[in-house]
Amino acid sequence: MGVPFRIFGSAMHSWRNCMPAGMCLKSEGFASNLYDPEGSLTLAAYCAARGLHYQDVGYPIPIETFIQYGLEFQRRLVPTLEETDITRLERTSDGFALQTVDGQALSARRVVLAVGIVHFGYVPPALSGLGPDHVSHSSQHHDMGTFRGRSVAVVGAGASAVDLAALMHEAGAAVHLVARRAAILFHSPPVEPRPWLQRALNPRSGLGLGWRSRFCTDAPLLFHALPLQLRLRAVRNHLGPAPGWFVKEKVVGRVPMHLGAELTRVVVRDRHVHLTWARKGDGESTLVVDHVIAATGYRVELQRLRFLDERLRQSLRSVADTPVLTTDFEASVPGLHIVGLASANCFGPLARFAYGARFAARRLSRSLGDARLWF
Ligand SMILES: Cc1cc2nc3c(=O)[nH]c(=O)nc-3n(C[C@H](O)[C@H](O)[C@H](O)COP(=O)(O)OP(=O)(O)OC[C@H]3O[C@@H](n4cnc5c(N)ncnc54)[C@H](O)[C@@H]3O)c2cc1C
């Protein structure tokens, strides 16, 4: 669109640092492309060029393949990336002032925050007081080897929790899975080809099967126009915690699971964590482990973006501590745009996945291209 820009951050940061080595993507191959307008570097093309196995549907993509694909994508299509962090962002009379971690000062008329998940790891209050030796968030772990020979409780029932439990078990840790849910809702393996009636009743989309997911991928602007409470409920409930089908055999019968377990007391005694929970009709149980991992997901809270100047943070209009955005991803502070996970309450679950990048990139670049005419 001819809009001059600078881009900061670390390519594939969350995939290289905040997710476990050895995991596979839950999104299907066709839904795991990084977006460029010409479609010149799809995941399928990347894999074909390297002789790596690939299928549009039904073959879990190893995270290592996706990371290498992303790094190649950045080298070829975004070579101007500056691998440094922004440590301060504040509003000025004609735009924004930014500071990088290495002390550079710069200014911009507009800023796009695409900070993804990295600032938003959520640890529930029952665990948050334990201290870093005894509790950590799932996003702090990439190399499972560091847990070999240790006892670990993974708290959670979603993909992060089950992936971590499986990989830690394989790496030689004594892992327990503890979850409030009464059952782990594994995805079903895809069956292809499907009869026409199945396809009509349950269409495939970049977010999985079903008309709800299809609505989310095809109509994010309609989603934006839905009443607030309906949007919040849809983002909370649609595509809830569910591990991929391919992890099931790695945990069932191998990793002890304590389900329907509501944590009632967590204390550190003799350098071990004593985790006590209650189960309906089943009294209390206590597990003693070296370390607890909260695989309890991500919660967007604008206040956690500490690099935003306090006044800028306070002046952002928000609902449930997530930003209120126009259909051009613009926040209540003019010139500040926010995409990715933090935009999900406005544009729906699509914003949480790689598949959503196409909509965000096209919509935002068009709007920035138009805005250029006015400044
Ligand atoms: C365990 C797990 C499994 C997942 N599996 C899938 C999947 O299978 N398919 C899928 O589509 N999605 C999956 N996701 C969601 C995934 O996180 C998103 O799809 C994707 O990472 C979003 O990309 P993003 O660029 O918005 O954010 P991120 O990938 O989180 O990237 C954020 C970027 O912001 C930069 N940044 C942050 N703060 C600053 C700062 N102050 N200054 C400069 N740069 C900064 C970081 O360096 C990084 O480059 C998964 C998430 C998790 C946690």
Region of 126 (left: φ > 0; alpha: ψ -120 to 50; beta: rest) is alpha
Report the chain's mean pLDDT, rounded to a whole number: 96
Q: What average pLDDT score do residues 2-7 get?
A: 93
Task: Name 70's Cβ contacts closer than 8 Å, sequence gap at least 6.
Answer: 11, 12, 15, 34
Contact 169, 182 (CB under 8 A): no
Given a cut of 60, whether residue 373 has pLDDT beyond it is: no
Percentage of residues of the chain with pLDDT beyond 70: 99
* Cβ of 86 less than 6 Å from ligand 1: yes
Atom of ligand 1 lying closest to residue 24 CA: 8
Distance 88 CA to ligand 1 centre (A): 20
Question: How many angstroms separate the CA atoms of 175 and 164, rounded?
Answer: 9
Over the stretch 337-349, which tens digit does the pLDDT of each residue have?
999 999 999 999 9
With a CB cutoff of 8 Å and minimum separation 6, the contacts of 194 are: 202
How many CA atoms lie less than 13 Å away from 50 in the CB half-sphere? 14
As a whole number, mean pLDDT of residues 91-120 equals 96
Question: pLDDT tens across 311-323, in order?
Answer: 999 999 999 999 9
Q: Stretch 71-95: mean pLDDT, rounded?
A: 97
**Whether the CB of 84 sits within 6 Å of ligand 1:** no
DSSP letters, 213-251, are HHHHHH-HHHHHHS-HHHHHHHHHHTT-S---GGGHHHH
Query: 3-class DSSP state for residue 352?
Result: helix
Q: Residue 2 above 90 pLDDT?
A: no
Summarised one tens digit per residue, pLDDT across range 145-194 is: 999 999 999 999 999 999 999 999 999 999 999 999 999 999 999 998 99
Mutate to test the pocket of ligand 1, among 7, 13, 19, 59 (most ligand atoms within 8 A of CB): 13
In this predicted structure, what is the pLDDT of residue 261?
A: 97
Read off the pLDDT of residues 36-62 as tens digits, 9 standing for 90 and up.
999 999 999 999 999 999 999 999 999
pLDDT-derived band of residue 350, with 50, 70 and 90 as boundaries?
Answer: very high
pLDDT-based confidence at residue 372 (cuts at 50, 70, 90): low
Residue 270 has pLDDT above 90, yes or no: yes
- What distance in angstroms lies between residue 298's CA and the mean position of ligand 1's atoms? 11
